[in-house]
A = this chain, B = another copy of it.
Amino acid sequence: MKPAPLVGRNGSETQTIVHIGNASVGGQDLFIVGGPCAVENAAQLAAIADHLGPSPSQPGQIQALRGGIYKPRTSPYDFQGVGSPGLDIIKRISQQSGLPFVTEVMAVAQIEALVDHADVLQVGSRNMQNFDLLRALGQVNRPVLLKRGLAATIEELIMAAEYIASHGNSNVILCERGIRSFDGYTRNVLDLGAVVALKQLTHLPVIVDPSHAAGRRELVASLSRAAIAAGADGLIIECHPSPDEAISDAQQTISLDAVAALVESLGPIAEAVGRRLATAKSAPAQRQLVAV
C-alpha cells in the first residue's frame, strides 16, 4: 500500500473527529444523514427536517440532511438536478432546522457557491479520482464527504483522501457505498470489510451509504445495522416523504417513518460496539423557525 502520511494511521491511535454544525463524526456519537437523492423543493426538505431532525425536547434521528442539487446522471437527458436555484433552498432549510446540509459538488466551478450554502461537500463515486476536484477541495474550509469509486480499491480511496489532505483540508469523511459486482440482484455489493480496513488504516471517519449499496428498500435497514456493528461512524440514507414519488432512486429510498424505526434499532448495536446515538437537541429558537 502506498504511504499516506496525512490520512494514514501510521501507528497512531488518534482518531479524527470532524465537526459539522452541532454534530460531529468520528467520535462516540453516530452521525446519521438522511434526505432525498435529489432536492426537489423546499417543502420536501422541510418535511424531512421536521420529521427526523432534533427539537428542543428530543435529539431527533438524523444529524444532517442530504440532497443533491447537481446530479451526476448516466444520460445527459436525465434530470440533472435543480441546479443553482437549489442553493438558497438548502441554506434556508438548514438554517430553519438547525441541521447541517450535505450536498454533492461535481465541478470546481461549483465550489465557491457551495461553500456559502452547504456544510459538507460530497464527492460522488464517479469523481473519486477527479484529481482536479480533489485538489480544489483541499483548499476550502468545509468538510468533504468522499465516496468510494465504483471499482476503487481501498488503497485508491485512501490516496484520494490524501490528495485532499495534502492540499490543506484534513476534514475528510470516507464513505463506502457498495462496489460493482456480477450480481444484478443488488445494485452494488456493500463492502464492510473495507469499512473495517479503512478504520484500521486511517484515522478518518468512515460512514456507509446502504441505499446505493443495496438499490432496494427492503435491504436498507439490515445493512445499516450491519454497518454500525462493523464499526462505521455513521450512515447516509436516502429517504423521502413519499418514496414512490422520488424523482430519482425511488426503489432504494425509504420513508421517514422507516428511517426513524431504523435509527431507533441502531441504539443497542451502537452500544455493543462502544458507540451511541447522537444526543444533541436543537436550540429552541432554531426550531421555531421551522414553524414559520
Contacts and interface: CB of A to CB of B under 8 A. Distances in A.
The count of identical subunits is 4
23 contacts: A3-B75, A3-B77, A74-B129, A76-B131, A76-B166, A106-B131, A126-B128, A151-B180, A151-B182, A153-B184, A154-B183, A179-B189, A181-B181, A181-B189, A186-B193, A190-B191, A196-B219, A225-B229, A225-B230, A229-B229, A268-B271, A268-B272, A272-B272
A9 to B, nearest CB: 12
A163 B78 CA distance: 11
Interface of A: 1-3, 72-78, 106-109, 126-133, 149-151, 153-156, 159, 162-163, 166-167, 178-186, 189-194, 196-197, 200, 213-214, 218-219, 222-223, 225-231, 265, 267-269, 271-273
Given A130-B130, A228-B229, 9 more contacts: A3-B77, A127-B130, A153-B184, A179-B189, A189-B191, A189-B193, A196-B222, A229-B229, A265-B272
Contacts of A106: 131-132
Given A186-B197, A193-B189, A197-B185, A225 B151 contact: no
Nearest to A107: B132
Contacts of A184: 153, 184
A273 B268 CA distance: 9
A162 B76 contact: yes
B154 A151 contact: no
A194 B200 contact: no
A76 B183 CA distance: 20
A182 B194 contact: no
A162 B75 contact: yes
A222 B230 contact: yes
B189 A183 contact: no
A222 B231 contact: yes
